[in-house]
Chains A and B, each alone.
Chain A
Amino acid sequence: DGGITQSPKYLFRKEGQNVTLSCEQNLNHDAMYWYRQDPGQGLRLIYYSQIVNDFQKGDIAEGYSVSREKKESFPLTVTSAQKNPTAFYLCASSMGPSWGGSWNEQFFGPGTRLTVL
């Protein structure tokens, strides 16, 4: 079945450690996104990528890094520079650049809950 997978579902990290969250999609989508969600709040965009080997900062990129070496994969690294990394992280993907219609929607993965100990 086509979809987006994120792993792990739960992740624990000690302060000062970098950690990488996985996101894979088999929908043949060009664009991929990383969002952060804090309790009781909406999603905020961390990074996005419209095409392989290219990515752009979102609204809260500080303390995070990404890579897009393959169309299917968009891993997110939470670095030790991120001061408050405990949150729920959602990865999403969508079709390539164009405009119009409900098929513009972003498809989301099941999320990774990161807790810093």
Chain B
Amino acid sequence: AQKITQTQPGMFVQEKEAVTLDCTYDTSDPSYGLFWYKQPSSGEMIFLIYQGSYDQQNATEGRYSLNFQKARKSANLVISASQLGDSAMYFCAMREVRRSGSARQLTFGSGTQLTVLP
């Protein structure tokens, strides 16, 4: 079974509009963390936002927010006021404490290619 599922291979959004990128996950570990990374065409991975499984509030970082629905096992990324520079590949990732122990192993989804239109 897929640990991290991103069902949108590609998304388009008009500049200045908001967009939601979907991510669902599968784990039986009660302690886990969810991450979103941005990968521009140059290839580097840029950390965007983090949500812990015990966090009571949804994470926010500037224009990025995470819509965390624990019962549904979803952790969707919301980008508000899209900019042309937001065009990139976006990856959702998870770390399970029980599986990884003290290591920081991440399991990644297959990604969503976001294109912002002028």
Contact = CB atoms under 8 A, between A and B. Distances in A.
A41 B104 CA distance: 20
Given A41-B110, A43-B108, A100-B52, A50 B102 contact: yes
B66 to A, nearest CB: 11
A47 to B, nearest CB: 11
Given A40-B110, A99-B31, A102-B50, A33 B44 contact: no
Given A42-B91, A99-B97, A110 B103 contact: no
A109 B104 contact: no
Contacts of B97: 99
Contacts of A64: none
Interface residues of B, number: 30
B44 A31 contact: no
Nearest to B4: A42
A115 B64 CA distance: 35
18 contacts: A33-B105, A40-B9, A42-B91, A43-B91, A43-B106, A50-B102, A58-B105, A90-B45, A97-B103, A99-B31, A99-B97, A101-B50, A102-B49, A102-B59, A104-B33, A105-B47, A107-B47, A110-B44
Interface of B: 4, 9, 31, 33, 35, 37, 42-47, 49-50, 52, 59, 91, 93, 95, 97, 101-106, 108-111
The 4 closest A-B pairs by CB, nearest first: A97-B102, A42-B108, A102-B50, A108-B45
